Structure 1
Amino acid sequence: MTADTAPRTALVTGGSRGIGRAVVERLAGPGRVVAVHYGRDDEAAQATVAAVRAAGGDAFAVRADLADEEAIATLAARVEEGLVERTGDRGLDVLVNNAGVGCRADITDVTGADLDRVFAVNVKAPVFVVQRLLPLLRDGARIVNVSSVANRIAHPHVLPYAMSKGALEAFSRSLAAQLGPRGITVNTVAPGLIETDFHRARMRAHPEDAAAAAALTVFGRLGQPEDVADAVAFLASEQARWITGERLETTGGAYL
C-alpha cells in the first residue's frame, strides 16, 4: 500500500451497478486497476469498465455466479490473470465484497430455498472469495464487506436477508482477528435504503414510500450510491490503517 488514499489494485464484487459501480468508480483512477465482478448484465459491466477507462484508470470485467463455489475459483483465477496482464504482478490491495441478493419473506412464509439462496450469495460467497484470494492479497491490504442496517434494526419482512447480513458481520470480525498479523484490515459498511436502480423504480411508483424513507434520515433525503462508496473508499485507504473489525453505518442517521 502506498500513502495514496486509493489502492493500486482492487476487486469489487457486484461492481457493475448501484453501490458496486459507485465503489468501482471511487476506487479507480490513473495508475489503478479495478476488477469488476458481475453476475449477469454484460452491458452494465462493460459500461462500468468504459467509465473507468474514460476517467484515466483501468478496469476489466469478470463474470461469475457467486452461488456456485466452482465459479468462485474461476473468478479468482481470472482476477489473477487480469492483474498480471495489466500490472505484471498478481498482488491485490483491496477486496470489496459488495455482491448480494435480497429476499422478502417473514417467519410465516420463509422457505428453505429462500435461506439457501440468500446465504449462498451473501455469506458463503464472501467467505470463499476471501479464501481463494488470500494468496493474492498483499500484506497491508484492505477487505471491506457490505452489510445492511437490517442487521441492527428489526425488519421481519426481509428475515432471511437480515439473518445473512448478521452472519456476514460475524465473519468480518473473526476474519479481522485472523488477518491482523499481516496488517490486513477487515471492516464492514452497513448502508440503509440507497436509491439504486432496484429501489428507484419502486420509489417512483410509490412516491409516498420515498418520502417516508427520506424522512427517516436526519438529512431528509434518500441515500445515494456515492454516499456509501465514499465510506468504502475511506476504509480502503491508508488513513484507515488503525481501524479493523469495525462496522460503519451509512444510513444518514436513520433509526437513531
Structure 2
Amino acid sequence: MTSSSTKVALVTGGSRGLGKDMAIQLAQKGFDVIITYQSKESAAKAVVDSIRVMGKKAVALPLDVSQSSTYEAFVAQVQDKLASEFGNDKIHALVNNAGTGVYAAFESTTEAQFDEMVNIHLKAAFFLTQKMLPILSDGGSIVNISSGLARFSYPNYAAYAIMKAGIESLSRYQALELGNRKIRVNTVAPGAIETDFGGGAVRDNKDLNAMLAAQTALGRVGLPDDIGGVVAFLCSDDAKWVNAQRIEVAGGVNI
C-alpha cells in the first residue's frame, strides 16, 4: 500500500484528561489520530469529532489495556482502520498513556491492587508496544507516560509510583533496542494535574491543590494542556534528536 503523507499517532486512553489533550495537540501538530477508550465511548467520540473539525482524520477504538490477551486482535483492528480510514499501513507515533491510580498505604495495599497496576501500567507499555512493532513505522516515536512520583515520594502511592519507575527504565531499554529502526523512545512525567485522575483530588480538594502549588516554583498545579504539547513535540520531527530522555512536566515541583 502506498502510505498517506500524513502521519498517524495512536494515544491510549485518549477520551479524557491528559490523553484527550495529547490527541488534540497531536492533531494540531499535523497528525491524524487514533485514540483508545475503555468505557467512555461518547467522550471518545466527542474527541474524534473535535479533531475532525480541525481537518484531520480520527477514530476511537475500545481497548482495556489491562487485558493483554486482547492486544493481537486490537492491532489487527488498527491495521484495518489504517487501511480503510487513513489510507496508511503504519502508525508513526505511539503514546502509552492509559492508566489509573491506586491510593493506598504500603501496609494495606492488596495483591489485587498491585497486580492491577502491573497490568495497566507496566505490562501494557511493554507488550502492547511489542505487538505494535510490525505496524510502527521505522523512524517513528514512542512516548511512555510516567509520573513525577517516580522521582519524589508521597505517602500512599507506592504501588502506582513504582510501576512508573519501571516505565522510565523500560523507555531506555526500548530506545536502545529499537534504535536500529531509528525509533525514538522518551518518557514524559507529569506532575500533579487538575483532571479526574485519582477521583479528581488535585482538581477538587482546595487544600491539596494549594499545598502542591506552594511546592511548585511556578506557583500552581498543572492543567491538561500543559502536557499535550510536550507529547506532540516528542512525536514530531522537531524532536528528531531527542531520545531515551525523561522530561518532567511539572512546573518545577520539589526542585
> So what's the TM-score if we normalise by structure 1?
0.93
Q: Give yes or no for the alignment of 1:127 onto 2:126.
A: yes
Partner residue, 2:70: 71
Aligned match of 2:8: 9
- Letter of the aligned partner of 2:151 in structure 1? R
Seq. identity, %? 40
Partner of 2:183: 184
Alignment check: 8 A CA contact 2:29 2:232 kept: no
Partner residue, 1:227: 226
Contact map agreement 1:31 1:58 (CA 8 A) in 2: no
- Structure 1 residues 152 and 32: CA distance shift in structure 2, 3 A: closer
- Write the distance in 2 (CA, Å) between the matches of 1:215 and 1:133: 41
Paired letter, 1:22: D
State the partner residue of 2:80: 81
Asked if 2 retains the 8 angstrom alpha-carbon contact of 1:99 and 1:121, the reply is yes
| Structure 1 residue runs of 4 or more that deviate by more than 6 Å after TM superposition | none
**Does the 8 Å contact 1:29/1:56 carry over to 2?**
no
Structure 1: gaps spanning 5 or more residues? 1-6
Q: Which residue of 1 aligns with 2:103?
A: 104
Query: What's the CA shift for 1:88?
Result: 2.5
Which residue is 2:174 aligned to? Answer: 175
Q: CA distance change for structure 1 residues 87 and 187 in 2, over 3 Å: closer, same or farther? A: same
AA partner of residue 155 (structure 1) = Y
Relative to structure 1, the CA distance from residue 147 to residue 31 in structure 2 (aligned partners, 3 Å threshold; closer, same or farther) is: closer
Match of residue 240 from structure 2: 241
| Alpha-carbon distance, 1:200 to partner | 8.1
Which residue matches 1:156? 155
TM-score by length of 2: 0.93
Give 1:157 shift. Answer: 0.9
The code of the aligned residue for 2:130 comes to Q
What's the offset of the Cα at 1:156? 3.2
Task: Tell me the amino acid that sits aligned with residue 195 of structure 1.
Answer: E
CA distance in 2 between counterparts of 1:199 and 1:117 reads 15
Query: How far off is 1:87 after superposition?
Result: 2.8
2:18 and 2:228 in contact (8 A); partners too: yes
Structure 2: distance between partners of 1:158 and 1:133: 30
Shift of 1:36: 0.7
Superposed CA deviations along residues 7-43 of structure 1, whole A, max 9, x for unmatched, are 7101000011000000000011496421111111111
Compared with structure 1, are the counterparts of its residues 239 and 201 closer, same or farther at alpha carbon in structure 2 (3 Å cutoff)? closer
> What do residues 127-162 of structure 1 show as CA deviations (whole Å, max 9, x unaligned)?
111111101111110000000011000223110001
Per the alignment, do residues 48 and 144 of structure 1 end up closer, same or farther by CA in structure 2, a change over 3 Å counting? same
Structure-1 separation of matches of 2:240 and 2:96: 19
Contact 1:29 1:58 in 2 (8 A): no
Aligned in 2, Cα 1:43/1:28: closer, same or farther, shift over 3 Å? same
Question: How far, CA to CA, are the matches of 1:201 and 1:222 in structure 2?
Answer: 13
Residues 195-241 of structure 1 deviation map (CA, whole Å, 9 limit, x = unaligned): 11336843565312211122221111221111111111111111211
Q: Distance in 2 between matches of 1:125 and 1:65?
A: 10
Q: Which SS does the other structure have where 1:135 is aligned? A: helix
The CA RMSD over aligned residues, in Å, is: 1.6
Residues 209 and 221 in structure 2, CA contact (< 8 A), matched pair in contact too: yes
The equivalent of 2:113 in structure 1 is: 114
CA 164–31 in structure 1, closer or farther in 2 if over 3 Å, else same: closer
> Does the 8 Å CA contact 1:194/1:222 hold for their aligned counterparts?
yes
**Counterpart Cα distance in 2 of 1:186 and 1:197:** 27
Q: Which residue does the alignment assign to 2:61? A: 62
Q: What secondary structure does 1:99 align onto?
A: coil
Q: How many residues align?
A: 250
Secondary structure (helix, strand or coil) at the match of 1:177 reads helix
Distance of 2:55 and 2:26 partners within structure 1: 12
Does residue 50 in structure 1 map to residue 42 in structure 2? no
Counterpart position of 1:3: none
